[in-house]
Structure 1
């Protein structure tokens, strides 16, 4: 069967620019500026990003996760500690996050070291989640092979019966903090001459540089 030629699919960017005179000294402050701007047009999944890790054979593996908190110390997301990504982070505690905001023609890449967040922080966030999400955390043996959809539905029923009122956080579920050492901001520009500015952590302060597109 003939394959479709998509070489001509392209878009010329040009709704914004990123110049040194306008960037903030701290990349987390710059991220916040862009994040809040994107939230106006990207909708409820403005916090979606691709989390990339390395598997046991050193193949890169990416999947979309939701950022749940950011501050000067890093970027927090939550998952099952028995999932594939958690196993990969246990053996190689480094990762990257990639955000893409189509409506703003912007991308942010963050890379750094991974640590688990304290249990009390995971406990507090877990109780903020909708009931269905809390039950789902218990019911899903994430990344494991299951026989069918009915298996999950039966697990949900069992969890509802086990925890009819208060649903505690399972000890196999919690948060991770990505502590950045490098943050790159990309602004689409015309003719593929994009703006790229990267911040690198240098012992006790951030240093920013412009990269060729």
Structure 2
């Protein structure tokens, strides 16, 4: 007896899943297993496998948020709009597909939403898309950015989904959220290396002996704890 196919995730489920994943990242609640040092090229952790069109769409969206250079001559997901690494090289898709986040099963539906909007954009603006590529991937970079601007505009349907997707791209590049920070720095994470993120002290802890404004703004309260917390 054939089992019935599982229902497609609703927009509400997409929103709840992505919101919970972002909250877990911001709270630092990923378990230790989510930050192994082994993985692709010795840098990225093991993650779920997605269909190629879904991966390409997510990569193209991430590259629109934080653009970088192409990985090879035939790279179509990355537009090559900026020098240096972008969100894709920094592990945006690897972050999205971490099993510990639990949103991998939602990503094909999210990519479908992005591609549906890309088809509508192409029809409205008279763009001819290659049928061999997902619609968003087939758009030129200027069209990708224009469409992304529309998707992120307040009041647009499903805007929260696209905002959360953009946050993952930024988090992968700016913070290497899918890796332990010390491990990421040792392995020259593309995003952290590009922005010049400081290395920890020899014991693996970060300390900041210099004031960020170049001068002390206020005296320390006499009851401040040794850990720097207010009394």
Of Structure 1 and Structure 2, the greater helix share is in: 2
Of Structure 1 and Structure 2, the greater strand share is in: 1
- TM-score, length of structure 2 as denominator length: 0.26
- TM-score, length of structure 1 as denominator length: 0.28
